[in-house]
Amino acid sequence: TQLLEQSPQFLSIQEGENLTVYCNSSSVFSSLQWYRQEPGEGPVLLVTVVTGGEVKKLKRLTFQFGDARKDSSLHITAAQPGDTGLYLCAGVRASGTYKYIFGTGTRLKVLA
């Protein structure tokens, strides 16, 4: 059973468009992170959110942690080709084994 479902799985958009990626679970997380992975490389952390309802901005990227700490979203404004990559959310459960659980991933391609 996959605990963190991301949607959409694939996304191909034109440069300048906006998009939102969702990360959903039935479990509560003490914190949630977003990573971006480019071809041939390992994932790199973009942001960590820890408080329910928290919103963080990183240039054109806006991250939100759900009030109940079960879900998160990543919104990209005016996407650029450099945003192309695999976006992964990762959560640490509030109870149980301390481990990061990675989402199913969203592959984004931004066309020039």
Partner 1 sequence: DTAVSQTPKYLVTQMGNDKSIKCEQNLGHDTMYWYKQDSKKFLKIMFSYNNKELIINETVPNRFSPKSPDKAHLNLHINSLELGDSAVYFCASSQGQSGNTIYFGEGSWLTVV
- The DSSP code sequence of the chain is --S-EEE-SEEEEETT--EEEEEE-SS-EEEEEEEEE-TTS--EEEEEE-STT-EEEETTEEEEE-TTSSEEEEEESS--GGG-EEEEEEEEESSSS--EEE---EEEEEE-
The contact mask relative to partner 1 for 13-52 (x = CB under 8 A, - = no) is -----------------xx-x-x-x--xxxxxx--x-x--
Q: Which of 14, 96, 97, 112 binds partner 1 (CB under 8 A)?
A: 97
How many residues bind to partner 1 according to rule CB under 8 A? 26
Q: Please report, as ranges, the residues that interact with partner 1 according to CB under 8 A.
A: 30-31, 33, 35, 37, 40-45, 48, 50, 86, 88, 90, 92, 97-102, 104-105, 107
